[in-house]
Amino acid sequence: MLPPESIFGVTPIWPVVYSLAAIALGLSAYWFYRRVLLLLLIGRSANRVNHLWKRLIETIAVVFSQSCSLRSVSWKDRAGIGHFFIAWGFIAFFSSYLLFIFGESAYPGLSTLLLGETAVGRYAFLVNSVGLLLLGALLWAVVRRWVAKPPRLSIELTQSADALIIVALIITIISLAFLSEGFYLASGEAETARGPVGKFLAQLFINLGLSVGTAATLHAVSWWIHFALIMGFAIYIPFSKHLHMVISPLTIFFRSLEPRGSIELVRDLETAKGYSSTSLQNFTWKELLDGYACAICGRCTNSCPAYLSGKPLSPMHLMHNMKDYLLRVGPGVIYGSTAQALIGDVITEEVIWDCTICRACQEECPVMVEHTNLIIDLRRHLVEQSRVSPNVAKALESMRLLGNPWEQPQSGRLDWAEGRRVKLIRDKEKVEVLYWVGCAGAYDPRSRDISLAMVRLLDEAGINYALLGTEERCCGDPARRMGEEGLFQMLACSNIEVLKKYSFKRILTHCPHCYNMLKNEYPQLGAQFEVVHHSQFLLELIRSGRIKPQEGPELRLTFHDPCYLGRYNGIYNPTRQVLQAIPKTTMIEMKLNRGKAMCCGAGGGQIWIQSEKGRRIEDMRFEQVQEVNVQVVATACPYCTIMLDVAAKIKEPTGRIKVMDIAELVVKALGQRV
């Protein structure tokens, strides 16, 4: 793809190349500034600039290894491999442009001078082959998107004109690069051929009887069109979703380094006041940036339980609408004019409340967009503006007044243990384990069985443990994820105050929501505790032989991964190992398991929000259980147990499939009744 040496044999080419490039890149930069940077400055600050070296190194690693897009490759969705070639094709071509276009046009022979004859040959060969792979991957992408149409590429927006323009442009540019090289070689430089494609094309042109003069002209013509298209592409990028090429390294760079899924703490009342009006200034620049990184690949939406169950929420459209709103309204904000409302006109309240904050979208997103943080932030706006449904208001007020979302009195927190000798920490000097029961485990009739099973196991293993009893209050997870940050802080602070009074080694809980809160989010308020989930704890007890599951009847079971245990905390194995420690159990995985497991529909306060549209998520999940032939679906979260149990009662009224917590299964394996 060497440039012609001169224009019509008169003018040297480099001044033209450089000035055209300066104009194109200048325009591109100008629009990038107008359409991105300037608008991002509207947002409030976000604490994402710590650990710069760590961020830089990891970003480089992710971009060059393409681990983000390769991670989501599965047998059914292999597009990530295509992206790998497209990305590397891009990197290869970009570097070759620097050398061959900008270098060679100014100083012919520069590449040889810099790299040496053989290295240039190898480099050209490499670019040639990568170019072929790139073309192949692009054609594959075209077939996938416009012919094969897999589910995630059938979602609205994915087949936009923008997508077509980008693919067509890249295909044309690469083809022209090859053609131009072919013409160049055919015009008498055939012996210097280094790339196989150029060589092949040159041979073809010579065989077709192309004269040397015509080839030289065609070389110049194709090269200039090619160059013009590249410059055009540079100008087009700020207007297209291909901006993700520039922005996604930034979203990866500025990603949250906090534990997965943890939410920004609102530290002062002044920030809190900002939520009482929904304007762009009240979103962080990172939230505004995320929309630009989205390449409309559909992975998030295609994994979203709300979308799949027919609710209006689609994480991809949420990000897209946010970016669209920023582009339309942002300039007005800067220049002081009023505009349409974000919530209501652009993003409906329904969409905001549909989310279960299960993090499936973020697990899938190759460019590390943080959908759930944005949703929680939008909920904060709704809460501060009193725009909440009666269901939400009831749950939140119950948490504030009664200390739990179930509208039960605090004095009844130990009712589940009636008739059992449970020890309270206020009566004890020092304990090894503080068993945090959680609100579900204390009040919900189904979940109380889990607490009883846990107490059985703790007694059986002879653990020195105690409960907080009526001193325990809601951990604040539902409040925080429903956007009631102030209530979360109130509950968390009161819990921290109580916990700090007592002496214990670690906190044990069977609720992944409490686990996630105590372990990952209480540290934001300055409280570090050692927290252990009951799956990890039971595994310890089984491994150390303090609990010995006995042989029982054969049991075929599957495991439903709770979102806040799996995707949030990466605990996938302990739960399965506990189940496998029970003799004669056969574990059968569901189609969607581990990181891809579908939410039960209760997270993020959804158990109280109860979105009405579409199907019930727990029904859909239970149908996936029914697909595998099992007697028991085990889980390790009270919410999941409640939701799946309700679905089971409707879908399997004969009780063929039971929903059980791992603790209940272990108790059963001890030959005891709960």
- Give contact residues for other proteins (rule: CB under 8 A): 266, 269, 272-273, 275-276, 383-384, 386, 388, 390, 392-393, 396-398, 400-402, 407-412, 484-487, 489-490, 646, 649-650, 653-655
CB-based burial label for 514 (10 Å; 0-12, 13-18, 19+) = buried
Pairing relationship of beta strands 431-436 and 465-467 according to DSSP bridges: parallel
| Minimum CB distance to other proteins, residue 48 (Å) | 24
Pick between residue 489 and residue 569 the one whose CB is nearest to other proteins.
Answer: 489
> Cβ–Cβ contacts within 10 Å for residue 430, how many?
11
Tokens 């040297």 appear where? 12
Pick between residue 307 and residue 416 the one whose CB is nearest to other proteins.
Answer: 416
CB-based burial label for 163 (10 Å; 0-12, 13-18, 19+) = buried
Q: Which residues of 313-330 are buried (b: 16+ CB within 10 A; e: fewer)?
A: bbbbbbbbbbbebbbebb
Q: Are 128 and 153 in contact (CB under 8 A)?
A: no
* Rounded CA separation 471/448 (Å): 18
Pick between residue 111 and residue 282 the one whose CB is nearest to other proteins.
Answer: 282
| Minimum CB distance to other proteins, residue 263 (Å) | 15
| Minimum CB distance to other proteins, residue 388 (Å) | 5
Pick between residue 67 and residue 389 the one whose CB is nearest to other proteins.
Answer: 389
Helices (H), 444-484: 445-460, 477-481
Helix (H, G, I), strand (E, B) or coil at 260: coil
| Minimum CB distance to other proteins, residue 383 (Å) | 5
Q: Are 466 and 425 in contact (CB under 8 A)?
A: yes
Pick between residue 264 and residue 561 the one whose CB is nearest to other proteins.
Answer: 264
* Rounded CA separation 145/263 (Å): 35
Q: At what angle do helices 196-207 and 117-143 cross, to 10 degrees?
A: 80
| Minimum CB distance to other proteins, residue 275 (Å) | 8
- Structure token pair of residue 36: 């991105």
Pick between residue 194 and residue 473 the one whose CB is nearest to other proteins.
Answer: 473
Pick between residue 77 and residue 645 the one whose CB is nearest to other proteins.
Answer: 645
- Structure token pair of residue 539: 């595994």
Nearest one of 129, 87, 77, 521 to 303, comparing CA atoms: 77
| Minimum CB distance to other proteins, residue 475 (Å) | 16
| Minimum CB distance to other proteins, residue 639 (Å) | 18
Max Cα–Cα distance, the chain, nearest Å: 101
Strand partners, 435: 467, 508
| Minimum CB distance to other proteins, residue 489 (Å) | 7
Pick between residue 250 and residue 482 the one whose CB is nearest to other proteins.
Answer: 482
Pick between residue 129 and residue 470 the one whose CB is nearest to other proteins.
Answer: 470
| Minimum CB distance to other proteins, residue 544 (Å) | 40
| Minimum CB distance to other proteins, residue 380 (Å) | 9
Start-to-end CA span in the chain (Å): 76
Q: Are 561 and 593 in contact (CB under 8 A)?
A: yes
| Minimum CB distance to other proteins, residue 654 (Å) | 7
Pick between residue 13 and residue 383 the one whose CB is nearest to other proteins.
Answer: 383
* Rounded CA separation 472/470 (Å): 5
| Minimum CB distance to other proteins, residue 564 (Å) | 23
Strand partners, 660: 634
Tokens 């505009």 appear where? 339
Pick between residue 207 and residue 654 the one whose CB is nearest to other proteins.
Answer: 654
Residue 588: enclosing H or E segment and its boundaries? none
| 18 Cβ contact partners less than 8 Å away, ≥ 6 residues apart | 102, 105, 106
Pick between residue 360 and residue 487 the one whose CB is nearest to other proteins.
Answer: 487
